Each structure stands twice: as C-alpha cells, then as structure tokens.
Amino acid sequence: MESDRRDWLEWHKPYDDPNSSLSRRLAIVRRELASALDAHGPKPLRLVSMCAGQGRDVVPVLAAHHMRSQTTATLVELDKRNTNIAKSDAKARGLTNVRVVEGDAALTDSYAGSVPADIVLACGIFGNIVDDDIRRTIETLPTLCARGATVIWTRGREQHRDLSQDIRKWFGSTGFREVAFHAPEDARFRVGVSRLAIPPKPFARGIRMFRFVR
Ligand SMILES: C[S@@+](CC[C@H](N)C(=O)[O-])C[C@H]1O[C@@H](n2cnc3c(N)ncnc32)[C@H](O)[C@@H]1O
C-alpha cells in the first residue's frame, strides 16, 4: 500500500542534526571510507555505493581526499529526489568522476561497467530487507568486488535481537575478513568493515540480491 511506503527523502532529515544517531553513524562511515581510500595506494580505484541515498557519505569524503581524481564512483539509488541531490552535491564539489545512477541497486545488472569495485558501500540496506536477502547480498558481493576490496555496511540493533552478529558471521563464511566493527553501547546502529580475502568471483548479470520490505 502506498501509504506504508517509507519516504526516502524524509529519511535523510536527521542528517541535518549533527547530534542525531544517524549523523553519528555517518561520521563513522565517512571515517572508514577515508581509511579505505588511504589504504588503497595511489592507483586508480573504483567505488560503488548500493542504495546510495543522497551520497552523504561518499561525496564529501571523496571531495576532500587526495584520491578524488583517481577514484571513479558509481552511486546507485532509486529515488530521483535523492539522486538529484547527490548529483548537485558532486557537481558543486567539482567531482567529475562520480556517476549517479537512478536504478535498482538490488540487480547486479546495475553495476555492469562499474565493477569490479575496490570499495563497496552497503549502508542503510540490511535493516530494510529480510535475513535471507542479507545473506544473498553478502554472498553476491564477491562478484562485484575487486581483489582485496573493502565493504562498508550498516545495520541497526533491534530491541530483542542484534542481527549484526549473524551478518559478521555471514561475511566471514563468504570469504571476508573483518577490518572493523563499531557498536557504540549508547546507540543502536552498527557499522562493519570487511575485506575480501578470497579471489573475486566473476561478475554475472541477472541476479536480484534483495527487495526492500517497505
Ligand atoms: C536507508 S536509506 C540509506 C541511504 C544511504 N545509503 C545512507 O546510508 O545515507 C535507503 C536508500 O535506498 C534507496 N532504495 C530502496 N530500494 C532501492 C533499490 N532497490 N535500489 C536502489 N535504491 C534503493 C532508498 O530510496 C533510500 O534512499
């Protein structure tokens, strides 16, 4: 039903309050992204952001980073209002290598030509899809990743369960090594950083990784 749908423009509002939990999460994601860019070394890099929203994590970090001209970033986001904001922000910051795609981030086809990626962001996804889809997404990531790629992901803790523990296990059993995991005691969000420790798998079109449940 239309009225049950989440308004994904509105969802970004708490970012305007620097003390909100979402802003705290954003600060960690940005820091981890900057570290992943630092760690890559001075060679061309590909980055993809799945369900990128307004690009509030990628765009400012890239703009301020010495890797900005070496990095090609692809942001995949369904909501045109959000893609417009991401595009204007990238333009205002003079980033010419940021491609904002209005498309379905759940379909591997959306990444054709943009992968294998050295950095993948999966932020704000795992709390909106069923557990089996989280697992399928993690298991598909090696087909989108370059050798040694870094994946930055988020998930909120619920009142009676903290699925981030299972997510960490699923990354491990898929061939990722954990680089960092943030779980502040006074917050519900969790941020994980995992690095691909097995050879990447061949990219394949036609795979649907997930469906948002709202
Ligand atoms: C929770 S927000 C996260 C946004 C951003 N990654 C962040 O952390 O700031 C989820 C975003 O996913 C987008 N979205 C939902 N389903 C999508 C899909 N199948 N493909 C691409 N984007 C999608 C929504 O429009 C929304 O902007």
Instruction: Note down pLDDT in tens along the chain; length 214 residues.
Output: 444 689 999 999 999 999 999 999 999 999 999 999 999 988 999 999 999 999 999 999 999 999 999 999 999 999 999 999 999 999 999 999 999 999 999 999 999 999 999 999 999 999 999 999 999 999 999 999 999 999 999 999 988 899 999 999 999 999 999 999 999 999 999 999 999 999 999 999 999 999 999 7
Domain at 2-50+108-196: CATH architecture:
3-Layer(aba) Sandwich (3.40)
Q: What is the CA radius of gyration of the chain?
A: 16
Q: Please tell me if the CB atom of residue 51 comes closer than 6 angstroms to any atom of ligand 1.
A: yes
In the reported structure, the alpha carbon of residue 42 is separated from the centroid of ligand 1 by a whole-number distance in angstroms of 30
Judged by DSSP in three states, 115 sits in coil
Q: Please tell me if the CB atom of residue 102 comes closer than 6 angstroms to any atom of ligand 1.
A: no
In the reported structure, the alpha carbon of residue 53 is separated from the centroid of ligand 1 by a whole-number distance in angstroms of 5
Cβ 82 vs Cβ 37: under 8 Å: no
* β 145-156/189-196 pair status: antiparallel
Could you tell me the two tokens for 98?
């940021």
d(CA 6, CA 160): 23
Domain ranges of the chain: 2-50+108-196
Using CB atoms within 10 Å of the CB of residue 139, give its burial: 0 to 12 exposed, 13 to 18 middle, 19+ buried.
Answer: middle
